[in-house]
A and B are shown apart, each in its own frame.
Chain A
Amino acid sequence: MEDKNNIALSVRDLKTFFYTNNRCNKAVNGVSFDVEKGKTLCIVGESGCGKSVTAATIMQLLPTLSRIEEGEIKFQKDNKIINIEKLEKNGKEMREIRGSDIAMIFQDPMTALNPVYTVGFQISENLKYHTNLNKKEIREKCISLLNDMGIPLPEKRVDEYPHSYSGGMRQRAMIAMAMACNPKILIADEPTTALDVTIQAQIFELMDKLKKENDTAIILITHDMGVVAELADNVAVMYMGNIVEAGTADDVLRRPTHPYTKALLESVPVLGRGKNQDINPIKGSTPDPYNRPIGCQFAPRCNWQTESCDVMPEITQINETHQVRCHKYEQFFEKYK
């Protein structure tokens, strides 16, 4: 897209397949997107549509039965382009990128921290492997990181174990861990699903602040459309391993052109509209990944389905930023304009 220098990570035609019992699950089936520096890309979609696998692929943290089939993950590091998909899975180069250039925070802070080590130790591991700081400096940095994350009494808390932290504090500690080496990209895989709403807002505020201060690109994986509206600069809507619609937050949320995006937006109640508002859940459920529909994956659940949907639609560029994968998008767009 635009200026190449703005792009921190560029994913092209990425395919990640899972192999179990001689069957192949095309979990990520040709996904392309760009992540701009200092911007938030939200990847949204139902459960099981390949969001988390996409994230794990970027970090090369896939389980043993899966592999990157084809495609490119280009990461810009010190003005050099690194093809992440070509690196050895747990090799030295990949490990140097993990944690220092691309960091990740996980869904459930209750299980994502090791229960037998202090929070300080777990943050310091990152610094120990990716910086040249000495022990004393590492400790100071840990304390200041916890302080930045708004954890009270960081000098004391740094030596405490995760079990004495509350859920929200653990997620802050996770973010402190991820931000320890000022990563260029932060991948957040549903970071607030396990937390209550008030904590959610605090965590997102924190992430937004970090994005602005450090120019970090954020890939936020979520299924919460409210979160998308609040935080996203760009949005990619995924369904069954494909991106069905992508664009700026304005494009996708205000002018949805794919029936699936529209359906997702309509299935969320809006605060303040009262009890009588129409909530339309998407009919049916996601298809069996081993027994996929031919052509457009959403067709069986779509109100706009026609014969032409038996062929997988190509990506169409609506304007400079907005793209969609649907045969009927013109009619659809007309109707809801």
Chain B
Amino acid sequence: MTTYIIQRLFIFFPMLLVISFLVYSGLELSPGDAVSHMISPELASTITAEQLDAMREAYGLNQSFLTRYWIWLTSMVQGDMGYSMAGGVAISEIMVKTVPATLELSMVALFFSTILGCSLGVISALKRGSGTDNSLTVAGMAGVSIPEFFFGLVAILLFAIELKWLPVGGRLLPHYETLWDRIPNIVLPSLVLALMMTAGAMRYARSSMLDVLAREFITTARSKGMPEWRVNILHGFRVALTPVVVLIGFRLPLLIGGSTIIEQVYQWPGIGSMFIRSVRASDYPLVMTISLMYVFVVLTASLIIDVLTALIDPRVRLGKE
């Protein structure tokens, strides 16, 4: 197991390097550069080519592609993420502001959707064909197919505007001091995000559970005189869990990137909206940092999935012992 994790870590860094180069090249190929985004359209006609070149030189954009990549890489390795070209703010500062906001939202959503999705899926499977199962199936289908922005807007309309139970959006306001003050703000966005994910997890847990309940070792467990809860949960769900864990694990990176729409709907100051802005502005340092972070999360998530499946299912043997 330990050797396996170490092996994976060895691949980890070369992969980060390759992907960072690919993203950098992609940015280079896209039309326009940071300077062309800095100048407002009204000024564009009055500015001379010399002035533009001077600006490019000031930002170091006139150097060759490889040189710039090398400079970026060496400073990144030293822990210097650089400054945003669009705003001049240190990227580390932007990250400190946005990453916790996104993580907060997605962690809450992941937590509730996992617990709710698994338990509803198991109930649905155990009561197969009953009214409960059918209504959960319909709800699951609706949850999977309704787009999240629509669901988010309806929730705002209902709970924030009509019923006035919860705030419309935002995360932190100046007068918010305690954790308690902040909870109402996270309820709606995390709930909407969680409900979408619950639907998928539930359908997955249900089919996986049905599959396992038909296996012979379930009959064996019953033939030993085990009570039903033990047969279903200890023998059934434990085995059914493996594919569900894989599904949830693959959602970890989605949570960082995938909450973009919900962040927009609820004006959540997270990383998703920041990423969109930085790509539009060809803000190399910021785009690079955020995309590297995505890559990092994806790679970490797949490592976590591997370790978890090995823990749950002893047949999955990792590395050589």
Query: B225 and A106: CB pair below 8 A?
Result: no
Interface check A198, CB cutoff 8 A: no
With contact pairs A95-B227, A115-B314, A116-B238 given, residues A106 and B216 touching in the complex (Cβ less than 8 Å): yes
Q: What is the chain A residue whose CB lies nearest that of B222?
A: A61
Interface check B239, CB cutoff 8 A: yes
Query: B219 and A114: CB pair below 8 A?
Result: no
What is the number of residues of chain A that contact chain B, defined by CB distance less than 8 Å? 29
Interface check A111, CB cutoff 8 A: yes
Beyond A114-B239, A116-B314, 14 extra complex contacts between A and B, CB < 8 Å: A98-B223, A98-B224, A99-B223, A103-B224, A106-B216, A106-B219, A111-B217, A112-B217, A114-B220, A116-B312, A117-B235, A125-B226, A125-B230, A163-B315
With contact pairs A113-B217, A115-B315, A116-B313 given, residues A100 and B225 touching in the complex (Cβ less than 8 Å): yes
Taken together as a complex, chains A and B put the C-alpha atoms of A113 and B224 apart, in Å, by 12
Query: B223 and A115: CB pair below 8 A?
Result: no
Q: Mark A75-98, 1 if CB is under 8 A from B, else 0.
A: 000000000000000100011111
Task: Give B124 Cβ to nearest chain A Cβ, in Å.
Answer: 16
24 A-B contacts (beta carbon < 8 Å): A59-B223, A61-B219, A61-B222, A95-B225, A96-B225, A97-B225, A98-B222, A99-B225, A106-B216, A111-B216, A112-B216, A112-B220, A113-B217, A114-B239, A116-B313, A116-B314, A125-B224, A129-B225, A161-B314, A161-B315, A163-B314, A174-B220, A177-B220, A177-B224
Interface check B215, CB cutoff 8 A: yes
Taken together as a complex, chains A and B put the C-alpha atoms of A299 and B315 apart, in Å, by 51
Task: Give B210 Cβ to nearest chain A Cβ, in Å.
Answer: 13
Task: Give A253 Cβ to nearest chain B Cβ, in Å.
Answer: 30
Task: Give B289 Cβ to nearest chain A Cβ, in Å.
Answer: 41
Complex contacts, A61 vs chain B, CB 8 Å: 219, 222-223
Taken together as a complex, chains A and B put the C-alpha atoms of A161 and B312 apart, in Å, by 12
Query: A114 and B222: CB pair below 8 A?
Result: no
Taken together as a complex, chains A and B put the C-alpha atoms of A116 and B239 apart, in Å, by 7
Interface check B27, CB cutoff 8 A: no
Q: What is the chain B residue whose CB lies nearest that of A100?
A: B225
Interface check A104, CB cutoff 8 A: yes
Interface check B228, CB cutoff 8 A: yes
Interface size class of B (residues with CB under 8 A): 20 to 34
Complex contacts, B220 vs chain A, CB 8 Å: 104, 106, 112-114, 174, 177
Query: A99 and B315: CB pair below 8 A?
Result: no
With contact pairs A116-B313, A163-B314 given, residues A104 and B226 touching in the complex (Cβ less than 8 Å): no
Complex contacts, A90 vs chain B, CB 8 Å: 222, 227-228
Interface check B247, CB cutoff 8 A: no
Task: Give B318 Cβ to nearest chain A Cβ, in Å.
Answer: 14
Q: What is the chain A residue whose CB lies nearest that of B231?
A: A90
Q: What is the chain A residue whose CB lies nearest that of B312?
A: A116
Q: 5 smallest A-B Cβ distances: which pairs?
A: A99-B225, A98-B225, A99-B224, A95-B225, A111-B216
Interface check B23, CB cutoff 8 A: no
Taken together as a complex, chains A and B put the C-alpha atoms of A97 and B227 apart, in Å, by 12
Interface check B95, CB cutoff 8 A: no
Interface check B221, CB cutoff 8 A: yes
Report which residue of B221, B222, B227, B228 has the largest number of chain A beta carbons within 10 angstroms of its beta carbon.
Answer: B222
Complex contacts, B238 vs chain A, CB 8 Å: 116-117
Complex contacts, B216 vs chain A, CB 8 Å: 106, 108, 111-112
Q: Mark B196-219, 1 if CB is under 8 A from A, else 0.
A: 000000000000000000011101
Complex contacts, A301 vs chain B, CB 8 Å: none
Taken together as a complex, chains A and B put the C-alpha atoms of A290 and B92 apart, in Å, by 74
Report which residue of A99, A113, A161 has the largest number of chain B beta carbons within 10 angstroms of its beta carbon.
Answer: A99
Taken together as a complex, chains A and B put the C-alpha atoms of A112 and B224 apart, in Å, by 12
Taken together as a complex, chains A and B put the C-alpha atoms of A104 and B221 apart, in Å, by 10
Interface of chain A residues 116 through 134 with chain B (CB within 8 A): 116-117, 125-126, 129-130
Q: Mark A162-204, 1 if CB is under 8 A from B, else 0.
A: 0100000000001001000000000000000000000000000
Task: Give B305 Cβ to nearest chain A Cβ, in Å.
Answer: 17
Residue in A94, A111, A126, A161 whose beta carbon sits within 8 Å of that of B224 in the complex:
A126
Taken together as a complex, chains A and B put the C-alpha atoms of A97 and B225 apart, in Å, by 7
Q: Mark B13-33, 1 if CB is under 8 A from A, else 0.
A: 000000000000000000000
Q: What is the chain B residue whose CB lies nearest that of A92?
A: B227
Complex contacts, A130 vs chain B, CB 8 Å: 225
Query: A114 and B226: CB pair below 8 A?
Result: no
Query: B239 and A115: CB pair below 8 A?
Result: yes
Query: B226 and A129: CB pair below 8 A?
Result: yes
Taken together as a complex, chains A and B put the C-alpha atoms of A100 and B228 apart, in Å, by 17
Taken together as a complex, chains A and B put the C-alpha atoms of A92 and B239 apart, in Å, by 25
Complex contacts, A98 vs chain B, CB 8 Å: 222-225
Query: A115 and B313: CB pair below 8 A?
Result: yes
Query: A104 and B217: CB pair below 8 A?
Result: no
Complex contacts, B239 vs chain A, CB 8 Å: 114-116
Complex contacts, B315 vs chain A, CB 8 Å: 115-116, 161, 163
Complex contacts, B228 vs chain A, CB 8 Å: 90
Task: Give B51 Cβ to nearest chain A Cβ, in Å.
Answer: 69
Query: B217 and A114: CB pair below 8 A?
Result: yes
Complex contacts, A111 vs chain B, CB 8 Å: 215-217
